[in-house]
Amino acid sequence: MVPTYCKFVIFNKIVRLTSKMLFYSFFKTLVGHEIIVELKNDICVTGRLHSVDQFLNIKLIEVCVSDPEKYPYMNYISESFIRGSVVRYVQLPVNSVDSQLLQDAARKEITIR
Amino acid sequence: MLVELKNGETYNGHLVTCDSWMNINLREVICTSKDGDRFWRLPECYIRGSMIKYLRIPDEIFDMVKEDIVVNKARGRTDNQKNRGGSRGARQGFGGRGGGGNNRGTGQQQRGGPKSFRGK
Amino acid sequence: MSSGLESYVNHTVSIITSDGRNFVGTLKGFDQTINIILDDSHERVYSPNQGVEQIILGLHLIRGDNVAIIGEVDETMDSSIDLSAIRAEPIGSVVF
């Protein structure tokens, strides 16, 4: 039985050894979870993570804006694609992130590089 | 076509050339300042692609490009086979969706642009 | 590779640009830098003291750098909304 930690790192090696890819892999493990994305224009979008790509562009389903009174722009939207470059923060559910694992993977990656 | 830059200035003119970075060359240009109250006539200008916010294109162009894509798809298959094993040089810039398509598309625009403007 | 813009092609999408504008139109194409071709597009201008103003624009190409959000417009939801009743502050622009 391979421990989860190893699986994660091995997967990373296969993909490519750049820190961007680490977070790409990391986000891929979060597909299906509810997340909140705060953009650099201060809009907060809540939704279920549908997919992510190498640029950390994010596709969300079941979208809603956290302040629909102020931003009715998205009221008629159920699904959306967010360009990675405009994302300021992503808020993740605490229990779906193993921060120890992530830290180790990040350190490992630095030493490999 | 109309080009709006990130700084809000707009350039209205006929497209002469463009490249895969979206750098473009316009002819018979009318430049409008950000607030829209000052104008300049320029016989020619060159715009760096990264400065562009968006382009407003005559509707006819889309139909032309669509025809072009159909042609390219048929042609593209044989092209790809030829390139197989060769360098990746052919795929640069916007690549992906057929780098060739890009250039050919603009060729169409060059021809189409002035025509459609005259029509209006 | 692109995380699924393909599924929006030929659908009505709403694009919020990094300068805070809102374009709605049919997505006809895109590439890996998220340059966007929008057909039959219009801009929706929101303001705090009057309803939404729609400006017809036609065919548009939006450079990827300026794109913030692309949302698939749910046609039934969209048609149920009375745009003229909506008041809203403009969206701030993206600060890089």
**Mean pLDDT (chain C, rounded):** 87
The pLDDT tens digits of the residues spanning A29-85 come to: 899 999 999 999 888 999 999 999 989 999 999 998 887 777 777 778 889 999 999
Nearest beta carbon to residue B59 from set C58, C62, C65: C58
Is A50 an interface residue toward C (CB < 8 Å)?
Answer: yes
pLDDT band at C2 (very low <50, low <70, confident <90, very high): low
- C62 in B contact zone (CB under 8 Å): yes
| 8 Å CB contact between B14 and B27 | yes
Task: Write out pLDDT tens, residues B71-115.
Answer: 777 775 554 444 444 444 333 344 334 333 344 444 444 443 333
A–C interface: beta-carbon pairs under 8 A:
104
Distance, in Å, from the CA atom of A33 to the CA atom of B58, rounded to the nearest integer, reads: 43
Residue C91 to residue C47: CA distance in whole angstroms: 10
Query: Which pair of structure tokens corresponds to residue C68?
Result: 């913030």
Nearby residues of C2 by Cβ (< 8 Å), 6 or more positions away:
A53, A57, C30, C32
Q: Is the pTM of this model over 0.90?
A: no
A54: containing domain = 4-112
**pLDDT of amino acid C23:** 93
In terms of pLDDT, which residue wins out, A111 or B44? B44
Q: A73 to chain C: which residues are within 8 Å by CB?
A: 14, 16, 22, 44, 46, 88, 91
Sequence letter at residue C30: F
ipTM reported for the complex, 2 dp: 0.86
Query: A16 touching C, CB under 8 A?
Result: no
> B59–C28: do the CB atoms touch at under 8 Å?
no
Q: In chain C, what are the domain boundaries? A: 6-75
- Put simply, the answer to whether C3 touches A43 (Cβ < 8 Å) is no
The string of pLDDT tens digits covering residues C33-77 is 999 999 999 999 988 888 888 899 999 999 999 999 999 988 887
C6-75 under CATH 2.30.30.100, yes or no: yes
Number of domains chain A contains: 1
* CATH number of the domain bearing residue A104: 2.30.30.100
